[in-house]
Structure formats: structure tokens, C-alpha cells
Amino acid sequence: MSQVTPPLPRRQLGSSGPQVSAIGYGAMGLSGVYGTADDTESARLLGDLLDLGVNFLDTADVYGEGHNEKLISGLLAKRRDEVVLATKFGANKDSGGGRPEYVRQAVDASLSRLGTDHIDLYYLHRLDPTTPIEETVGALAELVQAGKVRHLGLSEISANTLRRAHAVHPIAAVQQEYSLFTRDPEADLVPALRELGVALVAYSPLGRGVLTGAFSDISDVENLAVRKQRYPRFQEESLRHNIELTRPLRERAEALGISPAQLALAWLLAQGDDVVPIPGSRRIERVKDNIAAATTALDPVVVAELSAQFPPGAAAGERYTPAGMARLDR
């Protein structure tokens, strides 16, 4: 497969972090989260991503209990130098995921599964309330000194925690849910990120599929039973509301001659050069559609219209179950 034309623009992660494609790829869905995935097809898709210009791949040790990292190892064995690799640790249900001894165990386990000698961006997946963030980041800084990790990241953390962490060692990126449906980071976190020179890596940038416009009814949602169990926004009443909420997005996208997914991602990219969305899909056609957003320039009037049509709090339902929300640092 030849590379897209024009080539995907690049964005820098943090003040001194790596250059990555403006649209990255979240690989969680390749480990059966939203439906069955075929490893052979997934491996082919990962290779196609690089051919299309996407060099930023995101995984985590918890995805498929290590399956996701092992899957990506096949790509790294052949094309390691082409990949900016991000993985995460510390989302296990047991407390203590941020303890220095756990940090050292987790990175070695991930490196083994990935079959590589370094991780480009290593995130703390969820804050450990039993361990001061300074201790966790101190242990992570030791991994940088040892050459096992190139850059540090945090996920789902508050502005205060970010400042405390950054004072110990520079943080290159914070991974946070951010989309037209979830604009929470704009209030406090985004100003702190920009104050410190830290990038925002936006996960679930398409509202776990709802913002793609693919769902006209709740019956269209693949693997709905699993989604309802994990994500309250997929409970029937909330889901009906959220699908209806996408109507202006779909109408505007049609008028512009692009897909709703492209429009939603282009809106995110327009929020600043320090924002990098990482949509994920198991279908190469949707991947191509998503990455086209990186070269889709929106008129500021359109950006403002969408911001007004999707104000903070417009989506119905919490992002996670009560147990999941309790794990977020807010």
C-alpha cells in the first residue's frame, strides 16, 4: 500500500517529545473489546497504518491481558524504527499500581510482550490513590535514565496532579477522553497542559463510535450488551439521546462532503496543535476515513458552530460506571 497524498502532518508530543502523526491509532479494539477481532487481519491492518502515514500506536498492558501488546510485537519485529510506541500500566483493579516496585515490574513485562528494548511513551494508566504521584514519577524517571522508556505520560489525571508530576520529571503527554461528547478537559486540564508544554492525546475521540454517524438507531450498535455494561452512555435512554444529538454533525458533514467522523476529528484537531486524537477501528476503510481528518481544514465558523451545538455536558450518561468514575482523578 502506498502512502496517502498529501502525507499526514505531524505534531509534537510536549516541548521535547517525539513527532507523531496528527491522527494516531488506539489499538484496544484489536483485543476483542467491541467485538471479535482476527489476529491475522489485525496484523495486516497495523502494517497498513504505517503505510498510510500513521506512526503513533497506542496500547496498554491491560488490553486483552497482554494480548494487545503481543499482537503489536509482530509489527515491531519488522518495522520498529517507524513506530512511536505508547503503552500504559497501572489500570489493574488492585491498589498499588503506582508503587515504584510495581512500575519496574510492569515495564519489564511490557517490554517482554512487545519484544522491544524501549517504549517511546509510557503512561500511568490510572492514578494510584495509595502512592504519591511524586513517587510513581520518580520511578518512571529512573526508567528513562535506564533507557527503557523515552518519554513519560499520564492518563485521566487532574491539573493539580499533572503539576506535581511535571515538577519531578517532564511529562510529554496526558491521555484523556476528549471529543464533542466529552469536553471536560477544557475547564482546568487544558490550561495546565499549555502552561507546562504538555500534549493532549485524545482517546475515544468519536464517542466510542456514536460520533461516526454510523448509528441511526440503538439496534445499529455492535456488541451493545457489552457496551451497556461498561459505559452508561450506551444505556438505551441515554443512547437514544446521544444518537439524536449527532444530527447536526451528520447534516453539516453532508453539506461539507465529508464523513461525520472526519468532521468530529477535524474539530478536535482545530482545538490546538497540541491535541492528537487516537481513534481506533478494526476496519481499514474506517481507518482511512479517520486519518483523512488530518488534512481536512475547517472554517473557524464551522468549528464555532460545532462547539455551540455540543456544549460541555450535552451527552447523556456518565463516561464510566460508578466504579470506573471513582478511579478517575478529578
Consecutive 10-residue averages of pLDDT for the chain (330 residues): 64 95 97 83 96 97 96 98 97 82 97 98 96 98 98 98 98 98 97 98 97 90 84 95 96 97 98 97 94 96 98 96 92
How far apart (Å, rounded) are the C-alpha atoms in residues 254 and 272?
24
> What's residue 284's pLDDT?
94
* Catalytic residue list: 63
> What's residue 6's pLDDT?
59
How far apart (Å, rounded) are the C-alpha atoms in residues 190 and 198?
9
> What's residue 296's pLDDT?
95
> What's residue 3's pLDDT?
41
> What's residue 123's pLDDT?
98
Rounded to the nearest 5°, which phi and psi values hold at 69?
-65, -40
Whole-model pTM?
0.95
> What's residue 118's pLDDT?
98
> What's residue 78's pLDDT?
97
Domains (ranges, CATH) in the chain? 10-326 (3.20.20.100)
> What's residue 94's pLDDT?
67
> What's residue 92's pLDDT?
80
Largest CA distance in the chain: 55
How far apart (Å, rounded) are the C-alpha atoms in residues 253 and 213?
10
